[in-house]
Amino acid sequence: MLQCPKCKKGYDENYAFCEECGVRLISTGPHITMQQRNLVFDRIERSVFFRITRSYTWGILVFAILGFVAALFFFYLTSGL
């Protein structure tokens, strides 16, 4: 339920203008609120995505370091001291 800011008459949410005084109601809202909701969801989705990719990158980095150490160890063993 919306209220006209000028004459304080109550309206349904699908009204765009006040029937009483013609003032534009905040009821253009559905689109805006949907966009805001999408933005919030988008932000959450993006942060989750970043977190996943970040942990994935860390996994690759750790794996690369382990592989490098293993390769060094392998060369150390096969260098025939």
Piece in contact with Zn ion (CB under 5 A), picked from 2-10, 28-36, 37-45, 68-76: 2-10
- What separation in angstroms does the CA of 37 have from each of 28, 30, 54, 66? 15, 10, 25, 43
Piece in contact with Zn ion (CB under 5 A), picked from 13-21, 40-48, 51-59, 66-74: 13-21
For residue 27, what are the contacts with CB-CB under 8 A and spacing of at least 6? 2, 11, 12, 13, 14, 15, 16
Tell me the C-alpha distance between 77 and 63, whole Å: 21
* One of 3, 6, 38, 65 touching Zn ion (CB under 5 A): 6
Residues, the chain:
81
Piece in contact with Zn ion (CB under 5 A), picked from 21-29, 38-46, 49-57, 71-79: 21-29
Question: Contact between 7 and Zn ion (CB under 5 A)?
Answer: yes
Residues that bind Zn ion (CB under 5 A): 4, 6-7, 18, 20-21, 23
